[in-house]
Amino acid sequence: MGKVYLVGAGPGDPELITIKAWKCVREADVILYDRLVNPELLEESKQGADCIYCGKFPTLHMMKQEKINELLVRYAKQGKTVVRLKGGDPFVFGRGGEEAEALAAAGMDYEVVPGITAGVAAPAYAGIPITHRELGNSFAIVTGHCNTGKPADVKWESLVTAVDTLAIYMGVGNLPYIRHELLKHGKPKDTPAAIIQQGTTNLQKTVIGTLDSIVDVAEREQIENPAMIVIGEVIQFKERIELLKQMNGHGRATDVPSSILTS
């Protein structure tokens, strides 16, 4: 019997992959990789390794999950070292739990190799700390997309009061619905909101608004997936840092909106 490694490739920047994950990629006989995996990582695979694309788009799956599970088991039974390479972390909206269950049911040996998830990394690359002693002591990782489309199963009413910051994955298409749910359950409309598109990559783009305005901002700036939505006061940190830079000779304080000056 071979062995399967459920590997997190990180959020996009190839240098953010862990050393252990990098070793797995270099030693694998078979790599089943997802759409958001940086192609540069596949260049590290050994000669003769089979690299199989298993990409999933929000509304189109190139390979169904059942087929992926079947391939993992099949190649492991052939005695091969198999890497299931996923963007971010395999257990954060990556269906790694489903694959681990399928492998365990088939009696296959497997190991989970965690990765840096976009909910923390993308805001950090945009200058937004996901927690801050003054601005946010808690955060929740939330899906913005479910099997039924809109994330109706998410307890938005609880999230409004339970945590300071929301990091929402795969939510751009459902952004109007998400905004409506948060406002309906009492989230202030002037709560800062940001969207980081293609986070940690050379194509990263960040837009900032409020919960009330972020839908219009996203439409105007033509924001698309993959993107992280961050909602919370921690976004003020980015504005504060930019203000400090301007006040220290990198710009003029008068260039900054008055709302930031008083934050």
* Marked catalytic residue, from 34, 86, 108, 187: 34
Alpha helices, DSSP H, located in the chain: 19-27, 39-42, 65-77, 96-105, 118-125, 156-162, 175-184, 214-220, 235-245, 258-261
Active-site residue, selected from the candidate residues 56, 150, 205, 212: 56
Whether 56 is a known active-site residue: answer yes
The verdict on whether 170 is a catalytic residue reads yes
The one catalytic residue among 170, 187, 228, 238: 170
> Distance from first CA to last CA of the chain, Å, rounded?
60
Are the C-beta atoms of residues 171 and 151 closer than 8 Å to each other?
A: yes
Q: Is 25 exposed, middle or buried (0-12, 13-18, 19+ CB in 10 A)?
A: buried
Query: Is 130 within 8 Å of 119 (Cβ atoms)?
Result: yes
Task: Give catalytic residue positions.
Answer: 34, 56, 170
